[in-house]
Structures are given as structure tokens and as C-alpha cells.
Amino acid sequence: MSWYWILRFLHITGAALFIGGVFARQLVRSRLRKTSERDAFAELTGAARLIDERLVIPGSGLVLLAGIILAWMTGAPFLGFIQAAPQNWLLVSNILIILGMLLVVRVFLPVRKQIEAWVAQAGADETVPSEIQALINRPRLQLAYLLEEISLLVIVALMVFKPF
């Protein structure tokens, strides 16, 4: 067995963990948006964080690391037309990955920090305040989650079909 096949296995495994984690986390978040009890809210917030820590973060790291090494090993064109290559699917994938990282840093993490701060200070019998409900139900946040999901599916399609 060659390093290529080991790295390819790790790349695909990372993708499965990453994508599965993102969609699992979204299921948890959909329940989170519907609860008004502090304890249930805290439990679901913890579950979403656990999915991030156990699936999304390690999976994304594995898929990126193995993918970069694979691309380097095979001479795949990271930058597509910028490096005068005839294929651009990897360039588009890289752009989508970078945009996804920006969503995490600029949108998802600040929201999570606000939610977790409220959970940490809230009393056991409190209900979720309207400000927190408004935060997690913001249309722009929901759009960001949808864009994350769509971009992951597009990246998978680009990796599988290499259409251009």
C-alpha cells in the first residue's frame, strides 16, 4: 500500500467526519432554535459544541491536511488558471474553503460565544431570553448556515467530478 492510498483514505475519512458533523450540528441547532427552557438550551448548546470538537474540527483538519499533501504529491493545480493550469476545480474548492473559514471566524464563533456566555450565567429556572432567541433565529445567520452546507456539497461535487 502506498502513501497515496493512505492519504486518500484519510482525506475521504476527514471529509465524512467534517460533513457529517456539520449536518449533525445543524440538526441540533434546529432543535436549539425551538427550545425556551434554559436546561434544554444548555444541553443542546453543549451537544453542538461536542459535535464541533469531535467531528467538525478534526474532520476539517484531516481533510485539509491530507488534501494539501495529496495535491502536492500528485501535482494538482492548487491555483488553476492563475498558474496556467487547464483545470480550475481545485481553485474553486480552495476559494469555497477559505470563504467557509471566514464564516466560522466572523459569524459562527461570535454567535457561539454569546450563546455560551448566556448559558454560563443564566439561572437554572430561567427561560431563554428574547435577545438570545432573536440571535439564533436571525435570517442572516440561517443563511450563513445554509451557505456552509451548500458550499460543502459543491466542494464534494468538484472533488468527485472535477468538471473544469
pLDDT-derived band at 150, boundaries 50, 70, 90: very high
Q: What is the pLDDT of residues 26-61, one digit of tens each?
A: 999 999 999 999 999 999 999 999 999 999 999 999
Say whether 162 sits in a helix, a strand or coil: coil
Is the separation of the CB atoms in 136 and 29 below 8 Å? yes
Distance between CA atoms of 115 and 36, rounded to whole angstroms?
13
Distance between CA atoms of 124 and 162, rounded to whole angstroms?
52
Is the separation of the CB atoms in 91 and 79 below 8 Å? yes
Strand-pair partners of 112: none
Model confidence at 124: pLDDT above 80: no
Looking at the chain, the number of H-run helices and the number of E-run strands are: 7, 0
State the pTM of this model.
Answer: 0.90
Query: Which pLDDT value is given to residue 122?
Result: 82
Count of beta carbons in the 10 Å neighbourhood of residue 117: 11
